[in-house]
Structure 1
Amino acid sequence: MPVSLVGQAGRTNRERGVQKLGQVSQWRAVDCGAVVKTDSGVRIAANVGNILGEGPLWHPEAQCLFWFDILRSKLYRMAGEGDVAVMDLPFMGSAAGWIDAGNLLLAGDDGFYVLDMESGSLHPHMVLEDDNPATRSNDGRVDPWGRFWIGTMGRKLEAAAGALYRLDGARLEVLKQDISIPNSIAFSPDRARAYFADSPSRNILALDLNPETGDILRQRVFASLDDSDSVPDGSVVDSEGYLWNAQWGRGAWCATRPTAASTGPLSFPLASPRARPSAGRI
């Protein structure tokens, strides 16, 4: 689903955003080594040594996979096996949605930016907690109506420092406050549910939506990890409605039916898998 940026851009960052207006970054090739196959059958396609790899996004028109290394302020692009490039960002990016064949909307630590993928130019779209240097963006995804959901959190993992927002063109709406580590933002294929987790709570919430408007009707606990040593991280929903959740600390992906019956873990050779790619378009 593309991101919808209909309407005039919102208030831009007067101190930092204007300095980035029109700033150009360049892609450069990355040597990510050979594809590694593990005993579980999982392939490590890009061994780039991310410190905090987040926000995988598949762009169906560009046929590229994008993701971020948040703490290094880098955006990665994979155009094919072994064809990986990286771009340095002037902010800490964490999530993205595609606008059209040539442009991405990036969520950063102080706002939203439109990236021209060919020229590398960045243009501020709207601020996001730019008056609070203690927070940054984290998990985000585009909903079936083209609106961008994004969560914020404390840079030092401060409890209840963040919030959950929804960007609808030129309007930014607060959906939840007092969030510690926002994760697991995903949407069911029938447009009836959104999913969200504040990771330290160990619960994944289901937010029942109006299938026509996307308005939130109610919320409930969808899955709980209280009996495990892991916490819910990023999630994605497949075409059959199964929620796949990366469980931080367990080194596993777990698929859960819409009725909340888990199918069990798919183990990975790492302690903290983050998220599977989505194809959100703004």
Structure 2
Amino acid sequence: MDETGIRTLDAPRCHLGEGPSYYPATGTARWLDILERRLFEIPLDGTGPALTHTLPFMASAIAAVDPGRILLAAEDGLYLRDLRDGTLTLHGPLEADDPGTRSNDWRVHPCGALWIGTMGRDAEPGRGAIYHVAGTTVTRLYANLTIPNAICFSPDGASGYFVDTDEGLLRRVALDSATGLPVAEPATLYDHRGGAGGIDGAAVDADGLIWSARWGAACIDAYSPAGERVRSLPVPASRPSCPTFAGRGLDRLLVTSAWEGMDAAERAADPGHGLTFLLDPGTRGPLEPAFRP
């Protein structure tokens, strides 16, 4: 960390960085470059640079499963990846019959089920949706979205959050904490319409604050469960995409970024474009739950 509480990881730039995750048993961070079909992993103790794994598909998110496997959300389904040899096994299809969409943001609910968003490959309006996945059972929760993002859950699993970045309304919905399924209609928690940048990926800390990347505004914002924006942390890249809590004490934010859509002049003016960072938020998070396949 430098004097600003920011550390830049020794890793390649991402065209579209996403899906940061952390594994305390090994001290390893992982994330993805969706458009370049790459998976990165790095020890956060600073003992070496990131390893790069080429994937056969675009993937947008990662979840722990068990010590030997992770789950990847890809453009046509969910895949289990063996950490020993990289073998990929299809866990289940997701919009595999629609080549015009791909996966986007997700989180695992404390019960072990997950929510996963899809979107049009060119962010076409109304092509996106959010699904609930319990084992191999897939249930569509919300449709007619454009860019589903900020999917995350309160520590007790009783509330879920999400946004359609294109719309700009951060929403909260009451959940059955045992299943992660909604038990009410979503309500607006925070209205970002007209604000700078767009609400992107998010993670919830141990106190229930929602920490969300703001694409195009070079910051991570914290929202209270009451719907107030209570803090903002600067990020040395204009297009941060998603945070997650990381580090031995889960007291750092691992933040991906992107240079998607930037021309050469914009990239030159933004030296941090596409890099991956560790921030000191002054709080800690719960460990992201493992998916139960």
Match of 1:280 among 277, 284, 289: 289
Question: 1:97 touches 1:148 (CA, 8 Å); kept in 2?
Answer: no
Question: 1:251 touches 1:270 (CA, 8 Å); kept in 2?
Answer: yes
Moved more, 258-267 or 64-73: 258-267
* 1-structure distance, mates of 2:65, 2:135: 11
Q: Matches of residues 162-201 of structure 1 in structure 2 within 5 Å?
A: 162-201=128-167
Aligned twin of 2:9:
45
DSSP-derived class of the 1:241 partner: coil
Unaligned runs of 5+ in 2: 246-287
**Residue 188 of structure 2 corresponds to residue 221 of structure 1:** yes
Q: Matches of residues 7-26 of structure 1 in structure 2 within 5 Å?
A: none
Structure 2 residue identity aligned to 1:53: G
TM-score by length of 1: 0.83
Question: 1:159 touches 1:180 (CA, 8 Å); kept in 2?
Answer: yes
* Offset from partner CA, 1:3-58 (integer Å, 9 cap, x none): xxxxxxxxxxxxxxxxxxxxxxxxxxxxxxxxx84x74321123411100001011
Question: 2:11 touches 2:49 (CA, 8 Å); kept in 1?
Answer: no
* 1-structure distance, mates of 2:132, 2:178: 17
TM-score by length of 2: 0.80
Question: 2:61 touches 2:104 (CA, 8 Å); kept in 1?
Answer: yes
DSSP-derived class of the 1:150 partner: strand
Aligned twin of 2:271:
none
Aligned twin of 2:259:
none
Aligned twin of 1:233:
200
* 1-structure distance, mates of 2:137, 2:179: 16
**Residue 148 of structure 2 corresponds to residue 207 of structure 1:** no
Aligned twin of 1:60:
24
DSSP-derived class of the 2:66 partner: coil
Structure 2 residue identity aligned to 1:209: L
Q: CA deviation at 1:249?
A: 1.0
* 2-structure distance, mates of 1:235, 1:243: 7
* 1-structure distance, mates of 2:89, 2:145: 28
Question: 1:255 touches 1:264 (CA, 8 Å); kept in 2?
Answer: yes
The count of aligned residue pairs is 246
* 1-structure distance, mates of 2:6, 2:27: 21
Q: Matches of residues 92-111 of structure 1 in structure 2 within 5 Å?
A: 92-111=58-77
* 2-structure distance, mates of 1:265, 1:117: 35
* 1-structure distance, mates of 2:211, 2:176: 23
* 2-structure distance, mates of 1:76, 1:148: 22
Aligned twin of 2:97:
131
* 2-structure distance, mates of 1:55, 1:160: 23
* 2-structure distance, mates of 1:171, 1:60: 29
Question: 1:68 touches 1:75 (CA, 8 Å); kept in 2?
Answer: yes
CA shift in 2, pair 1:42/1:189, >3 Å: same
Structure 2 residue identity aligned to 1:230: G
Q: CA deviation at 1:148?
A: 1.9
Question: 2:113 touches 2:179 (CA, 8 Å); kept in 1?
Answer: no
Unaligned runs of 5+ in 1: 1-35
Aligned twin of 1:71:
35
Aligned twin of 1:3:
none
Q: CA deviation at 1:131?
A: 1.0
Question: 1:73 touches 1:93 (CA, 8 Å); kept in 2?
Answer: yes
Match of 2:107 among 133, 141, 148: 141
- Stretches of 4+ aligned residues off by more than 6 angstroms: none
* 2-structure distance, mates of 1:222, 1:47: 35
DSSP-derived class of the 2:243 partner: coil
Task: Give the root-mean-square deviation of aligned CA atoms.
Answer: 1.5
Question: 1:67 touches 1:75 (CA, 8 Å); kept in 2?
Answer: yes
Structure 2 residue identity aligned to 1:177: A
DSSP-derived class of the 2:89 partner: strand
